[in-house]
Every structure is written in structure tokens, then in C-alpha cells.
Structure 1
């Protein structure tokens, strides 16, 4: 607190210059020798009858704001205090009305391009045709952040000819390492690192966890929160469920502008014309680069996929394994658009294949506790054949993985410690009865699969809180699942299958709406079905 008060007094002292003595009041005040109370008293003396404007930049906490605010006199002279902050709660607390809070928005695409072109090309005023595609990719990574645009454009200002396209591509593909090694981008990394450094310890782990997801990936809030819980990143609080606490963590990261909130139509609720939206979030590309770097330093996650040349980024034991994209697809994309006899291209493809063979397939998987795949449709057959080695696995997220087959479900049902299991978007069409042996399971997602019914043994999952299904028939005695709090769209025939006789009921905190499909008119129409649903 002494630093901000001393700087404020110094600036006031420069304004109040003593012309006769040729010295400033700042020199007469002996600021360096004052403690906080002395600085506060002198500040009040100088401003008590003055109209003043004070700008306080980058306030990080409510405590810091209160400590500064109480030391500035309220003298009814029309004075104003302007505060900049990255934390929404601080912004609201420092304003007499929420209407006076100005929320900065990212630059629009045109404004981003104009700023970039002005720095790189100067008076030329336009990007050269051979560089436009790469410029668009760079601006997408910058996400409308002026600081990022200015810093990266400053690097490329010396490479503003068409012949420099390879340099532009290299910078675009290596922004993360550029922030670590290039002096121009070091300041931007420090700003992001400062934001991360001010997070409470429990939020730092949750923020690092986002490095698991690929660049530009849309993350469903529900999925993220249950992953946090399964990974043990959410602490218990008296009177709250773990999901409630996880929501608090999520809201705090949103408030601090560490992640960006959005809403999208919910894919699984388009059946019979009934649509809902779900909350999703994204991580800014520049922020993600820093989080990936920090997670690697801490050996928090091993990342494998096309972004990393097909190999893995890991040090020591692999505890969290995240697979991004298809290595084979990347090789095909790299090969396309180039002469078929390009020896350098052939060497690059072969090198990626060697890295892959020595990467994920050579890993010791016995200590892996979390396995997730993202935007992977093929090429994981050999990894999935080794599921039996994942004895300590607590989280298995195979959403969209087309390599998963029914034969792999035998090993999946032997992962007795697993707490989060997502088979969404896979090609499996059967859930073995052994699913009931996963007594630690808390979240199960089988939406967008070929599964039409769940085995009766699913009711043995006494810890299951979240069951995501669509258009499939649920087994008898669902009410026995004491922890269940959320079930997505499902069917029952007849309605008494649930052993819940009322039309709209609640069981153990989980709401059910029971429809009788055996009506005189047969299967209901889309309109009658939607009209019969209760309001949300």
C-alpha cells in the first residue's frame, strides 16, 4: 500500500511546484521517510478542499481497492476515481452504479486488421496478397486483444515482403515458444502470468486444467465441472455439493476474465423439435499458450497430437494424457498442396511417423489417472487396446472417438476407480451389464451413440449423479440411485417403469417428468409432445 500512496503524493507534489524555492512539494514532503499512515494523512491534507481526478490502474482485489479508497478524501467537490481491473467484483465494488462499469470488448476483425497492418506495413496501408492468409491465422490467435496484436506485429514489421511468408508461418505456429524466448513478446507473457499468479491456489489448478483442451475448443460447462470433480480439484464445503462448489470456481474464473462464457444450442435436445441451450466456455489462444507452458513445467499433463508433431509433451510420469486430433490427418494435410516429389516434405512426414511410434505407443500408462481425446476420429485403436493397463484411471473422456469399439467396453468396465466416463459420439451400440461394477462412477454420458437401452445393472451405480442419455429406455428402479441429480432426455415404457407414479415428481433431488407413451392416439406428434412438457 505504501507504494501506490507514495506515487500518488509524488505526482501531486509535482503539480504543486514551489516556484520561489525552485523545488517541488514532493521533495519537501520527505516521502521516502513516511509510513502508510503518514502518507495517508498528508494525502488528505493536500486534497481535502480540492477537486481531483485519480486513475488507479490494474486493481487485483477488493481488499486493495478498499485500502486505497478509504485514504482518498470525500470532500463533495465533484472528484472522480477511475479504476481499471480484470476482476468483475472489483469493478462493481468501485462503482456507485453498475451502469457506470465499462466492459472492454475485443477489437472487431476490421479494427484488428487495421492495427496489425499499420504496424507491419506502415504507410503502405495494405497487407500483401501472399501474406493475407497467414495474417488471418495470426489475428485469430490474438482474439482481438490489442496488446497481442501490437506485440506480434512488431516482430513481423521487419519481415513485410512476400518472401517472408515462411517466417510469418513459423511465428504463427510457435506463439507459445515465442512468448518465452522473444523479448518483444515477453511483456505479454508477463501480463498473463500475473493474472494467473493472483489466482487463489484452488483456482490455479482449475485454470491449468484447461491446458488439456485443444486450441479454439468449445468446452461444455457441465462437462468441465464434472471433470474437475473427478480429478479431485474441487474441495468440499459444508452445506454445498461438489457441483455447487465447482460452479463457484467456474464463476470466479469468468469474473476474473480468465475464460470466456458463451451459449450454444444443445445438440442432444433437438429430438421431437424440443431445443435447449447449454453454457459453454472458451480459453483465449494466447492464454492457452501460457497455460500449456506452465502445465508442462509442472508435469501437469502430457499432450499428444498434431499440434505437437504427433509426439507428446511430457516430463516424468504421465498422470494426465490428452490426445488432440489425428496424426494421420495432419500428415495428409501437410502432404496436400505440395509437389508429390518434394523430398523435404517426405522427410518431414517420415519424421512425424517416427515421433509418433516413439511417443504415445511407447509410453508407460500404468500411472495415468486421466485420459481424454479431442477431435480424434481414428488412429487410436492401439491405445484403446491397452485400456487394461490403466488400472488407476479416474477419468475416461472419449467423446467423438470413432476408434472405440464394443470389444473395448470389456476393459472399460474393469476400470473400477473411474469417476467420469464419456462415450458420447462414439460408435458403440451396447453397454455391458458389468457397467454396474463401476461403483465409483459419478458421471456417465452415452449421448449420440448407437445405444438404445441401458442394462438393469446401471441402477447399482449408487454414486452416479449425472446420466446423459438420449432416446433410450432406462431400466427398472431408477429411483434406487440415491445420488442421481441429473438425467437428460430418456424414454420409459410404460411410465410406471420408473416406479414413479405421479406425472411430475422429484426423487432424491433429481426431477423426472413421466410421459405415458401408450396413449389411445399412439405415439405423440412433435407438437403434442412439446406442449406436454413442463416449463423449465
Structure 2
């Protein structure tokens, strides 16, 4: 089911530091219902080489194969909808006994069963129970503390229950609960990950590349605002990514005025 956490679980595995050390090559591709083989292979090459490649589907598939052969790789194929899609792709991935892995996410059990072999693990996602839903809501609203004020516990649990056990619904509701003109107090350092989650929850981000997740799109927008001097960098991480940002007082006044108008 959409929003049950398939992509989140796959992303946790894909980004795990032990996995990044274990596998020589990693790539992430989203297939969806409508796809072109050439686009898929081009996306895989971009993920593997961080550069754009052109050619026919056959030529691009050969390039993918040549990069992967002899190496231990992890390929995530996200949101695959049909057995045909897997059949179109599977010959591109060499199986040379080096411990490589392919991780698929799909809403259709038949697709997972078709892609697997006798030793394949098919993990079916389940809805969160009421306790898990409430824990997730607390974690997202109150960050590290996980401690909800007593006078909000009853209504908070009702909100969590009404999300129907879907993690994405809970995250979107959190975005609505946390968002206001005063979401970030004056002169505060704005946590980039929280800001982008709010953008996602409010539907501000539109994917301009089928191979990029919304979080990456948000980071791109934010970096563009920094280049225009509309957003000030407060802190960067060891990898150079933005961690906290801020805005000038004058820009803040403009934002508040615009928010009141809209």
C-alpha cells in the first residue's frame, strides 16, 4: 500500500554505513507504472557513475553490465509494478557469486514472488499498531525528547489512531501540526532536515527528475536559495551538506507579510 513505508525501509538499508562499505557499487532507480527501458538504464548509469549517458536501451544495458561485472553491488529498484518490468531488467545484472544483492519494492506481491528465487526473502510491510503510531507521532513532533505534555496526550493519541497505521499519513499530519508562520522563531537556526520535511508535507516540492527523491529536490532548492543570498548558511556537515540555515530579519518580515496575504 502507498505510504506504508516500503521506500523508507529500502532507503535505510541503502544508506546504511556498513552497506556502503560492503558493496563496491550501489545504485537506486525508480521504475513506476510507465517506464522506458532506456530511461531506466540511463538512470542506473547516472546513479553508478554520477554522469549522464546516452544511447539505445541495448547499449546502455551493456554499459551497466560492464560496470557491475566482477564487483559486489547493491541495486535498489523502487516501485516496480509488473513482472514484465523485472524481466526487462534482470539480464542486466551479472550474477557472479560475489555477494551482490538486488532489493525491489512493489505494491504487488506477485511481482515480488516472480522476481525471487527459492532463497529470496519477501518482506510484507504491515500497518503500525496504535502504540507504534503514537511513538512515531511523538518522535516527529517533539524531536529528541519523545515526551508529549500531559494535557496533549489524549488528543495526540486520537490523532495517531486516526492515521490508520500509515507512516506517511502520520508524517504528513506532523508537518501540518508543526507548520505555522512561527514554525521557526526569529534569529533561530533552522534545521534543514525538518524544513525539507515540512516542504514535503505541504506539497511544495515537485520532482523534476524521476530518479531523485523529494528530499534531494528540497536540498537542491535550498542550495539555490543560498546562492541567491536569500538563505544564510549556519552550519554544514562533514560531507558539505547543509545542516542548519537562517534568514535575514528583513526577509523574515517579507515572509510573514506574504504568509498573511495568502
TM-score normalised over the length of structure 1: 0.26
Structure 2 unmatched runs, 5+: 1-36, 181-198, 208-262
Partner residue of 1:42 out of 63, 76, 83: 63
* Shift in alpha-carbon separation, 1:73–1:57, aligned structure 2, 3 A: same
Q: Which residue of 1 aligns with 2:135?
A: 114
Pair 1:147-2:168 in alignment: yes
CA shift, 1:78, in A, is: 2.7
Which residue of 85, 95, 104 corresponds with 2:116?
95
* Structure number with bigger Rg: 1
Aligned to 2:72, the other structure's residue is in SS state: coil
How far apart, in 2, do the equivalents of 1:79 and 1:99 lie? 13
C-alpha displacement of 1:57: 0.9
Whose helix proportion is higher, 1 or 2?
2
Is there any run of 5+ residues in structure 1 with no aligned partner, and where?
15-25, 160-181, 191-536
Q: 2:83 aligns with which of 48, 56, 62?
A: 62
User: Please, which of 29, 45, 48 is the counterpart of residue 9 of structure 1?
Assistant: 45
Where 2:103 maps in the other structure, the secondary structure is strand
Q: How many residues align?
A: 151
Distance 2:91 2:57 in 1: 12
2:228 alignment partner in structure 1: none
SS of alignment partner, residue 100 of structure 1: coil
Moved over 3 A (4+): none
Report the alpha carbon displacement of residue 11 of structure 1 after superposing the two structures with TM.
2.4
Q: What pairs up with 1:167-178 in 2 under 5 angstroms? A: none
Q: Distance in 2 between matches of 1:77 and 1:98?
A: 16
Aligned mate of 2:148, from 127, 140, 150: 127
In 1, Cα distance between equivalents of 2:116 and 2:200 = 37
**Which residue of structure 2 aligns with residue 210 of structure 1?**
none
Aligned 1:424-503 pairs, distance under 5 A: none
Task: State the Cα distance separating 1:83 from its structure 2 match.
Answer: 0.6
From the superposition, tell whether residues 51 and 37 of structure 1 become closer, same or farther in structure 2 (CA, over 3 Å). Answer: same
Residue 293 of structure 1 corresponds to none
Note the alpha carbon deviations across 1:66-102, whole angstroms, 9 max, x for none: 1111222233333211111111001111211376101
| Contact in 2 for aligned 1:119/1:150 (Cα 8 Å) | yes
Structure 1 vs Structure 2 CA RMSD: 2.7
Q: What residue in structure 2 maps to residue 76 of structure 1? A: 97
2:177 to 149, 156, 174: 156
Work out whether residues 5 and 39 of structure 1, in 8 Å CA contact, stay in contact via their aligned partners in 2: yes
